[in-house]
Amino acid sequence: MRNTKKTFLERKNVIISFRRYGIDAMSAMALGLFASLLIGTIINTIGQNVAPGSMISQRLLEIGGYATSVTGPVMALAIGHALMAPPLVLYSLAAVGAACNALGGSGGPLAVFFIGIIACEVGKLVSKETKIDIIVTPAVTIITGGALAIVFAPMFKSVCDALGVFIGWATNLQPLLMGIVVSAVVGAVLTLPISSAAICAAIGLGGGAVLSGLADGTVTMEIWNGLSLAGGAATAGCCAHMLGYAVLSFQDNGIGGFVAQGLGTSMLQVPNLMKKPVLWIPPTITAAVTGALSTCVFRMRNNGPAISSGMGTSGLVGPIGIITGWSQLPKGYEAGAFQWAGMILICFVLPIVITWAIGKVFRAKGIIKPGDLKIDMG
Protein backbone atom coordinates (compact mmCIF):
# COMPACT_ATOMS: atom_id res chain seq x y z
CA MET A 1 0.00 0.00 0.00
CA ARG A 2 2.78 2.37 0.96
CA ASN A 3 4.68 1.61 -2.27
CA THR A 4 1.52 2.17 -4.30
CA LYS A 5 1.01 5.54 -2.66
CA LYS A 6 4.64 6.49 -3.23
CA THR A 7 4.43 5.44 -6.86
CA PHE A 8 1.29 7.57 -7.34
CA LEU A 9 2.98 10.66 -5.85
CA GLU A 10 6.05 10.09 -7.99
CA ARG A 11 3.89 9.73 -11.08
CA LYS A 12 2.24 13.03 -10.21
CA ASN A 13 5.60 14.66 -9.55
CA VAL A 14 4.59 15.48 -5.96
CA ILE A 15 7.89 15.46 -4.12
CA ILE A 16 7.50 16.36 -0.46
CA SER A 17 10.89 17.73 0.50
CA PHE A 18 12.55 20.80 1.96
CA ARG A 19 14.40 21.41 -1.28
CA ARG A 20 11.25 21.37 -3.41
CA TYR A 21 9.27 23.71 -1.12
CA GLY A 22 11.82 25.61 0.96
CA ILE A 23 14.29 26.28 -1.85
CA ASP A 24 12.71 25.84 -5.28
CA ALA A 25 9.26 27.26 -4.51
CA MET A 26 10.57 30.02 -2.23
CA SER A 27 13.20 31.14 -4.75
CA ALA A 28 10.61 31.25 -7.52
CA MET A 29 8.17 33.22 -5.37
CA ALA A 30 10.88 35.79 -4.61
CA LEU A 31 11.37 36.31 -8.33
CA GLY A 32 7.61 36.62 -8.78
CA LEU A 33 7.43 39.22 -6.02
CA PHE A 34 10.15 41.24 -7.67
CA ALA A 35 8.55 40.95 -11.13
CA SER A 36 5.29 42.44 -9.83
CA LEU A 37 5.14 44.34 -6.53
CA LEU A 38 8.75 45.50 -6.32
CA ILE A 39 9.27 46.48 -9.96
CA GLY A 40 5.83 48.12 -9.94
CA THR A 41 6.75 50.17 -6.86
CA ILE A 42 10.04 51.18 -8.51
CA ILE A 43 8.19 52.32 -11.65
CA ASN A 44 5.72 54.25 -9.48
CA THR A 45 8.60 55.97 -7.67
CA ILE A 46 10.12 57.01 -11.00
CA GLY A 47 6.74 58.28 -12.13
CA GLN A 48 6.27 60.31 -8.96
CA ASN A 49 9.66 61.99 -9.22
CA VAL A 50 10.33 62.40 -12.95
CA ALA A 51 8.41 65.37 -14.36
CA PRO A 52 5.51 65.10 -11.87
CA GLY A 53 2.15 65.83 -13.47
CA SER A 54 3.40 65.22 -17.01
CA MET A 55 1.96 62.65 -19.39
CA ILE A 56 5.07 60.49 -18.97
CA SER A 57 4.67 60.57 -15.20
CA GLN A 58 1.00 59.62 -15.42
CA ARG A 59 1.71 56.74 -17.77
CA LEU A 60 4.50 55.41 -15.56
CA LEU A 61 2.18 55.50 -12.55
CA GLU A 62 -0.47 53.69 -14.57
CA ILE A 63 1.99 51.00 -15.68
CA GLY A 64 3.36 50.63 -12.13
CA GLY A 65 -0.18 50.21 -10.84
CA TYR A 66 -0.84 47.39 -13.29
CA ALA A 67 2.35 45.62 -12.15
CA THR A 68 1.56 45.84 -8.43
CA SER A 69 -2.05 44.77 -8.99
CA VAL A 70 -1.00 41.29 -10.15
CA THR A 71 1.38 40.57 -7.27
CA GLY A 72 -0.60 37.62 -5.88
CA PRO A 73 -1.22 35.86 -9.21
CA VAL A 74 2.39 36.28 -10.36
CA MET A 75 3.81 34.85 -7.12
CA ALA A 76 1.42 31.88 -7.31
CA LEU A 77 2.32 31.24 -10.96
CA ALA A 78 6.00 31.36 -10.06
CA ILE A 79 5.44 28.75 -7.34
CA GLY A 80 3.51 26.55 -9.74
CA HIS A 81 6.26 26.81 -12.33
CA ALA A 82 8.86 25.77 -9.73
CA LEU A 83 6.71 22.78 -8.73
CA MET A 84 6.39 21.77 -12.39
CA ALA A 85 2.61 22.09 -12.38
CA PRO A 86 0.70 20.93 -15.48
CA PRO A 87 -0.78 23.78 -17.56
CA LEU A 88 -4.33 23.67 -16.15
CA VAL A 89 -3.01 23.65 -12.58
CA LEU A 90 -0.51 26.41 -13.31
CA TYR A 91 -3.05 28.76 -14.87
CA SER A 92 -5.58 28.10 -12.12
CA LEU A 93 -3.07 29.19 -9.49
CA ALA A 94 -3.49 32.79 -10.66
CA ALA A 95 -6.92 32.90 -8.99
CA VAL A 96 -5.51 31.30 -5.84
CA GLY A 97 -2.74 33.89 -5.66
CA ALA A 98 -5.19 36.73 -6.14
CA ALA A 99 -7.37 35.47 -3.28
CA CYS A 100 -4.43 34.92 -0.93
CA ASN A 101 -2.91 38.34 -1.57
CA ALA A 102 -6.23 40.16 -1.28
CA LEU A 103 -7.26 38.45 1.97
CA GLY A 104 -3.74 38.29 3.43
CA GLY A 105 -2.98 42.02 3.42
CA SER A 106 0.59 42.61 4.55
CA GLY A 107 0.85 38.85 5.06
CA GLY A 108 -0.23 38.21 1.48
CA PRO A 109 3.11 36.85 0.22
CA LEU A 110 3.27 34.42 3.14
CA ALA A 111 -0.29 33.25 2.45
CA VAL A 112 0.47 32.83 -1.25
CA PHE A 113 3.52 30.72 -0.41
CA PHE A 114 1.84 28.18 1.87
CA ILE A 115 -1.59 28.04 0.28
CA GLY A 116 -0.21 28.19 -3.25
CA ILE A 117 1.94 25.11 -2.61
CA ILE A 118 -0.99 23.12 -1.20
CA ALA A 119 -3.38 24.12 -4.01
CA CYS A 120 -0.74 23.32 -6.61
CA GLU A 121 -0.01 19.85 -5.23
CA VAL A 122 -3.68 18.98 -4.83
CA GLY A 123 -4.31 20.12 -8.39
CA LYS A 124 -1.45 17.95 -9.62
CA LEU A 125 -2.97 14.91 -7.88
CA VAL A 126 -6.23 15.15 -9.85
CA SER A 127 -4.68 16.37 -13.10
CA LYS A 128 -5.55 14.09 -16.06
CA GLU A 129 -7.30 11.58 -13.80
CA THR A 130 -10.74 12.09 -15.38
CA LYS A 131 -12.21 12.46 -18.84
CA ILE A 132 -13.36 15.98 -17.98
CA ASP A 133 -9.96 17.16 -16.84
CA ILE A 134 -10.50 20.62 -18.31
CA ILE A 135 -13.24 21.16 -15.68
CA VAL A 136 -12.09 19.04 -12.75
CA THR A 137 -8.46 20.17 -12.49
CA PRO A 138 -9.07 23.96 -12.49
CA ALA A 139 -12.09 23.57 -10.22
CA VAL A 140 -10.22 21.47 -7.64
CA THR A 141 -7.18 23.74 -7.71
CA ILE A 142 -9.15 26.97 -7.38
CA ILE A 143 -11.67 25.68 -4.83
CA THR A 144 -8.91 24.18 -2.67
CA GLY A 145 -6.81 27.35 -2.79
CA GLY A 146 -9.78 29.67 -2.48
CA ALA A 147 -11.21 27.85 0.54
CA LEU A 148 -7.84 27.79 2.28
CA ALA A 149 -7.38 31.48 1.49
CA ILE A 150 -10.73 32.38 3.01
CA VAL A 151 -9.91 30.49 6.20
CA PHE A 152 -6.19 31.03 6.66
CA ALA A 153 -5.10 34.16 4.74
CA PRO A 154 -6.70 36.48 7.35
CA MET A 155 -4.63 34.65 9.99
CA PHE A 156 -1.44 35.51 8.12
CA LYS A 157 -2.71 39.09 7.99
CA SER A 158 -3.26 39.08 11.75
CA VAL A 159 0.26 37.82 12.40
CA CYS A 160 1.79 40.53 10.21
CA ASP A 161 -0.51 43.18 11.67
CA ALA A 162 0.71 42.17 15.13
CA LEU A 163 4.25 42.60 13.88
CA GLY A 164 3.27 46.05 12.66
CA VAL A 165 1.88 46.87 16.12
CA PHE A 166 5.21 45.80 17.65
CA ILE A 167 7.10 48.05 15.24
CA GLY A 168 4.69 50.87 16.08
CA TRP A 169 5.35 50.26 19.79
CA ALA A 170 9.10 50.40 19.16
CA THR A 171 8.76 53.91 17.70
CA ASN A 172 7.90 55.14 21.20
CA LEU A 173 11.15 53.90 22.73
CA GLN A 174 13.99 56.30 23.44
CA PRO A 175 15.92 57.08 20.21
CA LEU A 176 18.82 54.63 20.63
CA LEU A 177 16.63 51.59 21.36
CA MET A 178 14.06 52.68 18.81
CA GLY A 179 16.70 52.94 16.11
CA ILE A 180 18.13 49.50 16.89
CA VAL A 181 14.79 47.66 17.21
CA VAL A 182 13.00 49.26 14.25
CA SER A 183 15.99 48.91 11.95
CA ALA A 184 16.68 45.28 12.87
CA VAL A 185 13.03 44.17 12.74
CA VAL A 186 11.98 45.96 9.55
CA GLY A 187 15.18 44.85 7.84
CA ALA A 188 14.43 41.23 8.73
CA VAL A 189 10.81 41.61 7.59
CA LEU A 190 12.04 42.93 4.24
CA THR A 191 14.01 39.72 3.70
CA LEU A 192 11.16 37.43 4.80
CA PRO A 193 8.21 36.57 2.52
CA ILE A 194 6.23 39.37 4.12
CA SER A 195 5.53 42.79 2.61
CA SER A 196 7.61 45.20 4.68
CA ALA A 197 6.44 48.03 2.44
CA ALA A 198 2.79 47.18 3.16
CA ILE A 199 3.43 47.01 6.91
CA CYS A 200 5.21 50.38 6.91
CA ALA A 201 2.39 51.90 4.85
CA ALA A 202 -0.28 50.37 7.12
CA ILE A 203 1.18 51.80 10.33
CA GLY A 204 2.29 55.09 8.74
CA LEU A 205 5.97 54.55 9.47
CA GLY A 206 7.36 57.83 8.21
CA GLY A 207 6.94 61.55 8.62
CA GLY A 208 5.16 61.85 5.29
CA ALA A 209 2.20 59.90 6.71
CA VAL A 210 1.28 62.71 9.12
CA LEU A 211 2.22 65.85 7.16
CA SER A 212 -1.40 66.86 6.62
CA GLY A 213 -2.10 66.44 10.33
CA LEU A 214 0.97 68.48 11.17
CA ALA A 215 -0.30 71.27 8.91
CA ASP A 216 -3.78 71.44 10.47
CA GLY A 217 -2.58 71.00 14.04
CA THR A 218 -4.07 67.54 14.70
CA VAL A 219 -0.58 66.01 14.89
CA THR A 220 2.13 67.36 17.18
CA MET A 221 5.74 67.97 16.23
CA GLU A 222 6.75 65.28 18.73
CA ILE A 223 4.68 62.65 16.90
CA TRP A 224 5.99 63.75 13.50
CA ASN A 225 9.58 63.73 14.76
CA GLY A 226 9.24 60.20 16.17
CA LEU A 227 7.63 58.78 13.04
CA SER A 228 10.09 60.45 10.67
CA LEU A 229 13.07 59.17 12.67
CA ALA A 230 11.50 55.70 12.85
CA GLY A 231 10.99 55.81 9.08
CA GLY A 232 14.67 56.66 8.72
CA ALA A 233 15.64 53.74 10.97
CA ALA A 234 13.41 51.38 8.97
CA THR A 235 15.05 52.55 5.76
CA ALA A 236 18.45 51.97 7.34
CA GLY A 237 17.52 48.40 8.28
CA CYS A 238 16.20 47.58 4.82
CA CYS A 239 19.34 48.99 3.16
CA ALA A 240 21.50 47.00 5.61
CA HIS A 241 19.84 43.73 4.65
CA MET A 242 19.76 44.32 0.91
CA LEU A 243 23.28 45.64 0.42
CA GLY A 244 24.49 43.47 3.28
CA TYR A 245 23.45 40.23 1.60
CA ALA A 246 24.61 41.59 -1.75
CA VAL A 247 28.17 42.08 -0.52
CA LEU A 248 28.15 39.05 1.81
CA SER A 249 27.26 36.74 -1.07
CA PHE A 250 29.45 38.37 -3.72
CA GLN A 251 31.87 35.43 -3.75
CA ASP A 252 29.02 33.06 -4.58
CA ASN A 253 26.94 35.21 -6.94
CA GLY A 254 29.21 37.82 -8.53
CA ILE A 255 28.05 41.18 -9.85
CA GLY A 256 24.73 39.78 -11.10
CA GLY A 257 23.83 38.59 -7.62
CA PHE A 258 25.00 41.87 -6.11
CA VAL A 259 22.63 43.84 -8.33
CA ALA A 260 19.76 41.34 -7.91
CA GLN A 261 19.89 41.67 -4.12
CA GLY A 262 21.22 45.21 -3.72
CA LEU A 263 18.72 46.80 -6.10
CA GLY A 264 16.17 43.98 -6.22
CA THR A 265 15.32 41.97 -3.13
CA SER A 266 17.21 40.19 -0.35
CA MET A 267 14.32 37.72 -0.19
CA LEU A 268 16.33 35.71 -2.71
CA GLN A 269 18.38 34.56 0.30
CA VAL A 270 15.45 33.05 2.23
CA PRO A 271 16.09 29.46 1.06
CA ASN A 272 19.69 29.75 2.30
CA LEU A 273 18.55 31.33 5.57
CA MET A 274 16.15 28.44 6.15
CA LYS A 275 18.99 25.97 5.72
CA LYS A 276 21.49 27.97 7.77
CA PRO A 277 19.89 30.54 10.13
CA VAL A 278 23.30 31.83 11.29
CA LEU A 279 23.41 33.73 7.99
CA TRP A 280 20.91 36.17 9.49
CA ILE A 281 23.52 37.51 11.89
CA PRO A 282 25.82 39.75 9.76
CA PRO A 283 23.11 41.94 8.16
CA THR A 284 21.13 42.06 11.41
CA ILE A 285 24.16 43.37 13.32
CA THR A 286 24.70 45.89 10.54
CA ALA A 287 21.06 46.97 10.73
CA ALA A 288 21.30 47.49 14.49
CA VAL A 289 24.42 49.63 14.09
CA THR A 290 23.12 51.75 11.21
CA GLY A 291 19.72 52.10 12.90
CA ALA A 292 21.35 53.51 16.03
CA LEU A 293 23.56 55.86 14.02
CA SER A 294 20.56 56.92 11.93
CA THR A 295 18.51 58.10 14.91
CA CYS A 296 21.19 59.26 17.35
CA VAL A 297 23.96 60.71 15.19
CA PHE A 298 22.64 61.68 11.77
CA ARG A 299 18.99 62.11 12.79
CA MET A 300 18.04 60.71 9.40
CA ARG A 301 14.34 61.24 8.73
CA ASN A 302 12.20 59.58 6.12
CA ASN A 303 9.61 62.25 5.44
CA GLY A 304 8.49 60.69 2.17
CA PRO A 305 5.69 58.15 1.58
CA ALA A 306 5.52 55.55 4.38
CA ILE A 307 5.84 52.73 1.85
CA SER A 308 9.38 53.91 1.03
CA SER A 309 10.45 53.16 4.62
CA GLY A 310 10.05 49.44 3.88
CA MET A 311 11.77 49.32 0.48
CA GLY A 312 15.44 49.98 1.21
CA THR A 313 17.63 50.12 -1.89
CA SER A 314 15.11 48.20 -4.01
CA GLY A 315 15.09 50.46 -7.03
CA LEU A 316 16.57 53.07 -4.65
CA VAL A 317 13.02 53.72 -3.41
CA GLY A 318 14.12 54.17 0.24
CA PRO A 319 16.84 56.78 -0.39
CA ILE A 320 14.60 58.54 -2.93
CA GLY A 321 11.86 58.72 -0.28
CA ILE A 322 14.31 60.36 2.11
CA ILE A 323 15.58 62.86 -0.47
CA THR A 324 12.15 63.85 -1.79
CA GLY A 325 10.85 64.09 1.78
CA TRP A 326 13.44 66.75 2.57
CA SER A 327 11.47 69.23 0.45
CA GLN A 328 8.56 68.90 2.91
CA LEU A 329 10.48 69.16 6.18
CA PRO A 330 9.04 71.61 8.72
CA LYS A 331 10.84 74.89 9.33
CA GLY A 332 14.01 74.39 11.34
CA TYR A 333 14.60 70.84 10.06
CA GLU A 334 16.04 71.71 6.65
CA ALA A 335 18.49 69.21 5.17
CA GLY A 336 22.08 70.23 4.48
CA ALA A 337 25.47 68.68 3.76
CA PHE A 338 25.45 66.76 7.05
CA GLN A 339 22.13 65.09 6.18
CA TRP A 340 23.37 64.20 2.71
CA ALA A 341 26.51 62.66 4.18
CA GLY A 342 24.45 60.75 6.72
CA MET A 343 22.05 59.39 4.09
CA ILE A 344 24.92 58.20 1.87
CA LEU A 345 26.71 56.55 4.78
CA ILE A 346 23.62 54.92 6.32
CA CYS A 347 21.96 53.78 3.09
CA PHE A 348 25.01 52.77 1.04
CA VAL A 349 28.48 52.87 2.54
CA LEU A 350 28.07 51.41 6.03
CA PRO A 351 25.83 48.46 5.03
CA ILE A 352 28.53 47.33 2.61
CA VAL A 353 31.55 48.01 4.83
CA ILE A 354 30.16 46.63 8.11
CA THR A 355 28.63 43.49 6.61
CA TRP A 356 31.76 42.84 4.55
CA ALA A 357 33.91 43.07 7.71
CA ILE A 358 31.62 40.73 9.67
CA GLY A 359 31.55 38.36 6.71
CA LYS A 360 35.36 38.24 6.66
CA VAL A 361 35.36 37.14 10.30
CA PHE A 362 32.62 34.56 9.73
CA ARG A 363 34.45 33.09 6.74
CA ALA A 364 37.76 32.98 8.62
CA LYS A 365 36.03 31.08 11.46
CA GLY A 366 34.41 28.69 8.99
CA ILE A 367 30.89 29.83 9.92
CA ILE A 368 30.16 30.87 6.34
CA LYS A 369 31.39 28.47 3.67
CA PRO A 370 31.57 28.73 -0.13
CA GLY A 371 28.15 28.15 -1.65
CA ASP A 372 26.20 28.99 1.53
CA LEU A 373 24.80 32.16 -0.05
CA LYS A 374 24.34 31.01 -3.63
CA ILE A 375 21.02 32.23 -5.03
CA ASP A 376 18.78 31.28 -7.93
CA MET A 377 18.39 34.31 -10.21
CA GLY A 378 16.08 32.61 -12.66
Mean pLDDT per block of 10 residues along the chain (378 residues) reads: 72 86 85 85 84 88 93 94 95 96 86 95 93 95 97 89 76 85 92 80 75 77 83 95 96 94 90 93 97 94 85 90 85 87 96 97 96 86
Check residue 5 and give its pLDDT.
Answer: 67
Which residues are CB-contacts of 313 (< 8 A; sequence separation ≥ 6)?
Answer: 238, 239, 242, 243, 262, 263, 319, 347, 348
CB 136 within 8 A of CB 126: yes
CB 237 within 8 A of CB 182: yes
Domain parsing of the chain, residue ranges: 2-161, 171-364
Burial 85-101 (b: 16+ CB within 10 A, else e): bbebbbbbbbbbbbbbb
Alpha-carbon span 195 to 23, nearest angstrom: 19
Check residue 307 and give its pLDDT.
Answer: 81
User: Alpha helix (H) ranges present in the chain?
Assistant: 2-11, 18, 26-33, 39-49, 55-69, 71-82, 87-104, 108-126, 133-170, 175-191, 196-203, 211-216, 221-248, 250-259, 270-275, 281-296, 317-325, 337-344, 350-364
pLDDT in tens, 143-159: 999 999 999 999 988 88
Check residue 9 and give its pLDDT.
Answer: 86
Q: What's the whole-model pTM score?
A: 0.80
